[in-house]
Chains A and B, each alone.
Chain A
């Protein structure tokens, strides 16, 4: 086993480094800056260069982070590693590990659908592929981003015509920027929550184009939000912060919105099925594209995906990690 689970996280003994460790370690390779993957306290970090600005704000100014271009390789104690776009969020990477003629790829979180805020997923050939499975069931099949955002635009437009604000709840890092970059900003003004603005800065510094957006706090209390699109983190829902919007329609953007029960629990007017994770067809396509002889499935619906792969002639196992599974991902706005 080139990579194995330990109490501190996925560990590559040959290279003496951890991937997304959940406890502090000497050397951590980070797939992306979401909090269940990028935790504070390690002595040295290695991550994709395009995500450095965001990662630094997450880990604090004192964290020692080294950036690696996608595809650029690095030798760690005789093990060759390189990072490749995972298409999940800005700076997200798959980790390719080569040692003794064997190649492993750790996917981190990923999606295959196009996203204007990050580099597209790149299939990497390998012997063993460690894949996530957040949405590893055939009930999860996403529409194309064009179709989804046509729905978002139509909802915003209808609300704007009625003089209402449109509040969409989305995870502040990744989902929020993807929405900002994808909506039709000619419909009306765009306003963001402070938590979203903090991440927007990192995105803009990294060269991602986002439409002009004002922070809610910058607007006077008397100003009308009618017709505006408001992007806020899920924690803002039903908080006093919402009062300022007066009459508004709200929506939640997440892959979990595919399920009616989850939609109803959220108690919003609209659920947009918008995910930064691979759906069932994408998981299968991605796995096939690696040509891997062996697949190791982590966080999510591991058991069914493992059995499905085994039945289709792919050797598969599951591996327990502390990355947040179903419920955690629901909170993270997967």
Chain B
């Protein structure tokens, strides 16, 4: 535990990826296989289920520190993180243990969950008394099930590749999907010839870079594939023999949420497809439009997180898997082949499914020049898309987000000017600063809350707004402050729709702050009518 905590500290305190990778490599090179497996598991974003409810932990920690609960809450409010608050208020450790990460996880952490409240409390207090500073913090994070570190899975992969001498792509593939840490798992991970025990594993997703400015700089139009950028759930469909699995980009198995897609998977030959799950309305017969139309994201949202959905939900929000790439065919890894070849195979595979299915192939935009393509892009909103994807026809399917082969060429966001009316403290890096804002727009001479936004400001701007909020608080409701309406922000968002669930009657997608409008008085902010007019522009 000491060494894992030291690794966490090294990663957490450094801002250089080189230093982080070096610290990871040092850890993996020296750790016992079982500890290394657990470390890799945690650092790539896997989380154990919460072992003890947060409320109980807070109460026990407050009592152990001899603090009333209200004061604990004040501390929590200032720190913004439960595990850290507990770490800080508890008295210093009285004992010193030397057990390793795997012992702590397997024999203590996991066992905690099975215990009754009294035993849980007794054990927890003895563990706290044995751990100092960072170790205590890391352990608390693991218990609450929200251990997160400032390191990307990519760096972890790179470090393991460095230590094992195995290619990073192979490591990355082996780490994707579900696995459970053990000596054997580590041996598999870093072994030369690994037996791929879990045949349902997806490949790491290849991600696009945002394209700034025009597309002309990319060279000849004929070297590029252009398709719509859909706003759905990015997913991989795995079909290998009897195995079928659907994975989201967060490496989460999502097959149970989309049974109609899974049902059609049996019609596929052995292959792995990359694509987007979209809520999709079939075109009415005889309408002349082929293939149907995409429904707003809100329709898809009704399907998210809902396992084994009922008939009504499935009927209201039918989904398709819109495939745009083929990564594996008949047991062969196709990722190194050029995109043009993969797309040809993809069309073969999907279009030869007999009798139609939930699988479709993304259409390619024919526009022969960059100018005509730009014109097509300006129609994105009417198509229900976020813009265009540009992919080099000769590109391999890479790992992560390297520059140059895939670009997303998004349309300009919708914008509205709104007034800051409520504020709340952020979490993690932004705990103790007011960074979570609610914005209002005018309706009958009053500001009605219409969107929340957290991102888009520089650290310096955040400090300025934070200071403004502290000086201009009108009221406090728990953690929320009502702020004197004075600051106007230009908000950007991708989608806007009427919504009965929202107080303003409007729901926006991906709201963020584009800039502060110091030049604008609050009377110049937009109105609800303006927002409704925008909502009419988009697809319904």
Chain A interface residues (CB < 8 Å from chain B)? 137-141, 258-265, 267-271, 301, 303-304, 307-308, 311, 325-328, 331
Q: Is B51 an interface residue (CB 8 A)?
A: no
Residue of B with least CB distance to A140: B88
Chain A residue nearest to B19 (CB atoms) is A269
B75:A138 contact, CB within 8 angstroms: yes
Is the pair A138, B12 in contact by a Cβ cutoff of 8 Å?
A: no
List the B side residues contacting A270 at CB < 8 Å: 13
- Nearest CB in chain A to that of B92: its residue: A141
Query: Shortest Cβ distance from A258 into chain B, in angstroms?
Result: 7
Write out the residue numbers on chain A whose beta carbons fall within 8 Å of the beta carbon of B467.
Answer: 327-328
With a cutoff of 8 Å between Cβ atoms, the chain B residues found around residue A264 in the complex are 12, 150, 428-429
**Chain A residues whose CB sits within 8 angstroms of the CB of B459 once the complex forms:** 265
B155 is an interface residue with CB less than 8 A from chain A: no
The total of chain B residues at the interface (CB under 8 A) is 33
Contacts A/B (CB < 8 Å), 5 sampled: A138-B71, A138-B89, A261-B79, A261-B428, A261-B431
Which of chain A's residues has its CB closest to B434's CB? A327
Cα distance, A261 to B427, chains bound together (Å): 8
**Given known A261-B79, A265-B430, A265-B433, contact A139–B13 (CB-CB < 8 A):** no
Instruction: Quote the shortest CB–CB distance from A152 to chain B (angstroms).
Output: 14
Query: Given the complex of chains A and B, what is the CA–CA distance between A328 and B466 in angstroms?
Result: 10
Within the complex, what minimum Cβ distance (angstroms) separates A161 from chain B? 16
Q: Which residues of B contact A307 (CB under 8 A)?
A: 70-71
B85 within 8 A of A: yes
B74 interface contact, C-beta 8 A? yes
A260 to B463, CA, bound (A): 17
Q: Which A residues touch B78, using CB under 8 A? A: 137, 139, 259, 301
Which of A259, A262, A271, A308 gathers most chain B CB within 10 Å? A259
B430: chain A residues at CB < 8 Å are 261, 265
Residues facing A in B7-41 (CB within 8 A) are 12-15
- Given contact pairs A259-B79, A268-B15, A303-B74, enumerate 7 new A-B contacts (beta carbons under 8 Å): A137-B71, A138-B67, A262-B432, A267-B15, A311-B68, A325-B470, A328-B467
Query: Which residues from B are CB-within-8-Å of A325?
Result: 470
Residues in chain B near residue A263, CB distance under 8 A:
13
Closest to A258 in B: B88
B427 (CB) vs chain A CBs: closest residue: A261
A216 to B429, CA, bound (A): 32
Nearest residue (CB) in B for A260 is: B84
Nearest-CB residue, chain B, relative to A308: B71
Q: Does B130 belong to the interface (CB within 8 Å)?
A: no
Question: Which among A141, A265, A271, A331 is the interface contact of B88 at CB below 8 angstroms?
Answer: A141
Contact flags B182-202 to A (C-beta < 8 A → 1, else 0): 000000000000000000000
CA gap between A307 and B426 in the complex, in Å: 25
Q: When the two chains form their complex, are residues B470 and A139 in contact, meaning their CB atoms are under 8 A apart?
A: no
The answer to whether A259 touches B13 (Cβ under 8 A) is no
Quick one: which of B57-94 are within 8 Å of A by CB? 65, 67-68, 70-71, 74-75, 78-81, 84-85, 88-89
A267 to B67, CA, bound (A): 32
* A66-B150 Cα distance, complex, nearest whole Å: 53
Q: How far is the CA of A311 from the CA of B14 in the complex (A)?
A: 42
What is the CB-to-nearest-CB distance from B57 to chain A, in angstroms, rounded to a whole number?
16
Scan residues 88-114 of chain B and give those whose CB is less than 8 A from a CB of chain A.
88-89
Q: Please determine whether B71 and A260 come into contact, CB atoms closer than 8 angstroms.
A: no
Q: 7 closest pairs, A vs B, by CB?
A: A261-B431, A139-B88, A264-B429, A304-B74, A139-B75, A138-B89, A327-B467
Q: Which of B437-453 contact A (CB under 8 A)?
A: none
Identify A327's interface contact among B15, B426, B431, B466, CB under 8 A.
B466
Taking the closest CB of chain A, its distance from the CB of B76, in whole angstroms, is 9
Q: Flag if A269 contacts B15 (CB, 8 Å).
A: yes
Interface contact B13-A271, CB-CB below 8 Å: yes
Q: Is the CB of B71 within 8 A of A326?
A: no
A247 to B76, CA, bound (A): 37
- A327: shortest Cβ distance to chain B, in Å? 5
